[in-house]
Amino acid sequence: GENVEQHPSTLSVQEGDSAVIKCTYSDSASNYFPWYKQELGKRPQLIIDIRSNVGEKKDQRIAVTLNKTAKHFSLHITETQPEDSAVYFCAATLYNQGGKLIFGQGTELSVKP
């Protein structure tokens, strides 16, 4: 079936360094790719999203890039801070299944002061 693969499952960086999380998707018709952040014990919250007609989107220290040909998209966090520590999930729409979202397995990011 259709799926989204997310890597790495855990990521540890020093404060101030950059972090990159990568996802690949299988449904070539997917057209919407959000990223959610879930802090420990809290609900997931949308941090950035990108649609298939755009190759890159930035919002302050975070950015998402999309390569439709290769069917992969990535989250980039620059100048990481301890409050960036959380689990990050990527997702993609299943266009041929009514636009349902399918999530990656999650990446636990730890930013060490």
Partner 1 sequence: DGGITQSPKYLFRKEGQNVTLSCEQNLNHDAMYWYRQDPGQGLRLIYYSQIVNDFQKGDIAEGYSVSREKKESFPLTVTSAQKNPTAFYLCASTPAAVGVGELFFGEGSRLTVL
**8 touching partner 1, by CB under 8 A:** no
**77 touching partner 1, by CB under 8 A:** no
String marking each residue 37-76 x if it binds partner 1 according to CB under 8 A: -----xxxxx--x---------------------------
Which H/E stretch holds residue 30?
A: none
Task: Give the span between the Cα atoms of 104 and 3, in whole angstroms.
Answer: 8
Q: Are 101 and 91 in contact (CB under 8 A)?
A: yes
Helix/strand/coil for 13: strand
Residue ranges binding partner 1 (CB under 8 A):
1, 4, 6, 9, 32, 34, 36, 42-46, 49, 89, 91, 93-94, 98-106
